[in-house]
Each structure stands twice: as C-alpha cells, then as structure tokens.
C-alpha cells in the first residue's frame, strides 16, 4: 500500500474544545477477559452509571462490533488482531470526539492491547482485567460455546483451543465472581480517585 500521498489534517475544532463542551475528560475503559467472564455485563453497568451521572459515553462490545463493521472477521490470531486494531482506532476517534468509551472485548493478546493503549495518550486508557477462572466461565457458559468448543464444533476458542494472555499491568483487576454492584463501585472509585471524572457531575 502506498501511503505517501496521505497526510493527516487538523481541523479547526479540537478534541479539547469538544470535551470542554461536554464538560468531561474523554478516555477509554478497556475490559479484557475470557468469554463469559462478565465483561459485557460490567461494561453495561459502568455505561449506565456514568450516563446517569451526566457523562457522555459509548459502549463497544465484541458481539455487536462483530455483527457490523467487523463482520468479515473470524477468530484466527490474525483476525482477532485485526478486530482489536479496528476497534482501537474507532475508540480513538470516539475519544477525539470527546466521549468516554467503554470497550468490552476478549482481546486475548497482550500485544494488541498494548497497541490499543499506544493509540491514545497515557492518561486516556484504563485497562480492566475481568479475572474470572476458566472453570467458572465454562460452568456459566451462557451461549453454550464452551460446550461446543470442547466437542470440537468451534475451533480456536479462547481458553480451550486458543490462548489468553493475562494482562501484565492493568490499571484495575476485578474479581469476575464478585457482585456486579461491588465491581462497578470498584471501577468508579478508581476513576474518581485518579481524576478521570470531574466533580461537577453529581454523584449519587
Ligand atoms: S476477540 O478475541 O477478537 O477480542 P471478541 O470479544 O471480539 O473476541 O468476540 C468474542 C465473542 O465472540 C465471544 O463472547 C463469543 O460469543 C463469540 N465467539 C465465537 N467464536 C469464538 C471463538 N472461537 N473464541 C472466542 N469467542 C468466540
């Protein structure tokens, strides 16, 4: 591909101006963990809580993104890499637009999560490891996918026939077996403590 003739252009209205208008600091909350670990449920609760407190948010979730923009991708290592690359670029655009973006993807490879992190400023990325033991995810098996993966009906299944790199140094580790309310409070407290959430928004 010849990218020589492509040049980045800064337009008049900046990220700072867009976020000032929204009265918030834009950033990404990146949830990673096994299938069935609870990422989507936690992401939804964080999204709801922030929205109710007056923040402008957007939630990107694996199954949704994969049914639209990434419907051409499967679960080989290369496709997962491309999945995360595109989502990270999309999340960056949302951050640029002034939003708080909540991403919930297995994102099994440390390299791809690092790539996503490196796309934004160092204080714009909060990695949350949803730590739920594989046995618990297998037991939950909400979509019966572990059962199919064990029988060999689904290949490259994370935790069964495809690897998951545990995060090395995530900002937050949540115990996927905790009550949803406790986990949500843990994440929101972190965000408050580290100045991600301005005080002007009402706390409940
Ligand atoms: S990722 O690995 O590329 O980050 P992503 O989060 O987008 O995965 O999608 C994961 C979802 O796809 C799972 O929750 C599950 O419902 C579904 N899925 C289908 N096949 C697989 C597979 N082989 N491995 C993992 N998840 C799969």
Percent of the chain with pLDDT over 70: 97
Q: What's the sign of the alpha-carbon dihedral 186, 192, 197, 198? A: positive
Sorting pLDDT into bands at 50, 70 and 90, what band is 146? very high
Rounded CA gap, 167 and 182, in Å? 21
- pLDDT higher than threshold 60 for residue 19: yes
Pocket probe for ligand 1: among 35, 36, 103, 167, the residue whose CB has the most ligand atoms within 8 Å is 35
Backbone angles phi, psi at 92, to 5 degrees: -60, -40
Q: Is 163 helix (H, G, I), strand (E, B) or coil?
A: coil
Cα 120 to averaged position of ligand 1 atoms, centre (Å): 24
For this structure, is 14 an active site residue?
A: no
Q: Do residues 98 and 25 make contact, with C-beta atoms less than 8 angstroms apart?
A: no
- pLDDT higher than threshold 90 for residue 199: no
pTM higher than 0.85: yes
């Amino acid at each position: 591909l010849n990218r020589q003739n492509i040049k980045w252009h800064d337009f008049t209205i900046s990220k700072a101006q867009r976020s000032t208008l929204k009265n918030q600091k834009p950033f990404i909350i990146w949830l990673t963990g096994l299938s069935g670990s609870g990422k989507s449920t936690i992401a939804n609760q964080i999204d709801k809580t922030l929205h109710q407190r007056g923040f402008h948010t957007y939630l990107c979730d694996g199954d949704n993104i994969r049914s639209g923009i990434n419907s051409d991708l499967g679960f080989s290592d290369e496709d997962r890499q491309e999945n995360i690359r595109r989502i990270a670029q999309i999340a960056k655009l949302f951050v640029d637009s002034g939003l708080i973006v909540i991403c919930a993807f297995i994102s099994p490879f440390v390299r791809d999560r690092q790539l996503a992190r490196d796309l934004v400023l160092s204080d714009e990325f909060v990695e949350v490891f949803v730590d739920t033991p594989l046995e618990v995810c297998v037991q939950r098996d909400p979509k019966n996918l572990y059962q199919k993966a064990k029988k060999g009906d689904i290949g490259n299944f994370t935790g069964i026939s495809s690897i998951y790199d545990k995060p090395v140094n995530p900002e937050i580790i949540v115990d996927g077996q905790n009550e949803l309310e406790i986990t949500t409070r843990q994440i929101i407290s972190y965000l408050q403590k580290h100045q991600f959430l301005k005080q002007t928004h009402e706390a409940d």
